Amino acid sequence: MSARLQAFRFKAMGCPCALQLYAESPRRARHWAAAARGEIARLERKYSRYRGDSIVGRINAGAGDAPVRVDPETTSLLDYAETCFRQSEGRFDITSGILRRAWDFRSERLPHQDAIDALLPHVGWQRVEWCAPEIRLPDTGMQIDLGGFVKEYAADRVAQLLREAGCQSGIVDLGGDLAVIGPHPGGAPWRVGVRDANAPDRPAGLVPVTSGGVATSGDYERCMVVDGVRYGHVLDPRTGWPIESLASVTVFASRCLIAGTASTIALLQGESAARWLDDLGLPHTRQAHGGPVEAHLGDTSADAA
């Protein structure tokens, strides 16, 4: 029996999600989809900063108190966060989420500098006491938030889970962050649309992808304009203010986790984003505000704009 494409759409981790799976029967596809959603729900429960019973909630609740011991999966994620912090020279920082208290992009009002100054002393991964498997936040005002990459990690986890269950062709889409299980039967690639930040409702081009992960970071959807100046939601943890950078970056990598953090760190490079991406060497597209989508896809045979 030949495999047929089955699609499943749902919401998780605060965003629309989709699974496209080739299966020999609808029953098997539903079984795989249920297992995938179960894994996503597990990770959401475990790493949500909104849940007091999550590991992130327990770490944050223990700030200023005794160290919290974590499991091997969380250890690997915290090690990854530390690597990203070091390699980005402090720009990618999982302690910076508390800056949201000062910035409300729906208000169209800039925060007072005093509000930002009051939060900045609580930002800084270098102050976190991380000695695996124990972590301690040194003051009661500090928090961590893995929201900057746990969705991409979940996409990779689900793709791997489905491969192990026997699914050979499919794609996992968690809020636009993609992990490819495998190409279409016969080896044909998936065609991934790259958005045009100037007209986000339509793709600027299509990129063929047979494996790995794809993720996009941009500041064209959450921003505000005050006195003619545009402020994007990507905040520099060193200053507490939005950083002027590219409008959008889409990275293609061996894993969705790597694609996601690379695209975010690229935006945090500000004016050096394009040079940083060139030096990184991963296939990507990038777009300056008001400019066209530029494809830098290397060996990828793409027909992006």
> Tokens in use for 123?
């930002």
Q: ∠99-100-104 over CA atoms, to 5°? A: 130
Condensed to tens digits (0 to 9), the pLDDT of residues 101-160 reads 999 888 889 999 999 999 999 999 999 999 999 999 999 999 999 999 999 999 999 999
Condensed to tens digits (0 to 9), the pLDDT of residues 222-274 reads 788 888 888 888 899 999 999 888 999 999 999 999 999 999 999 999 999 99
Cα–Cα distance between 295 and 305 in angstroms, integer? Answer: 7
Distance from chain centroid for Cα 229: 26
Cα–Cα distance between 25 and 10 in angstroms, integer? Answer: 20
> What is the Cα gyration radius of the chain?
20
Condensed to tens digits (0 to 9), the pLDDT of residues 82-109 reads 999 999 999 999 999 999 899 988 888 9
pTM of the predicted model, to two decimals? 0.94
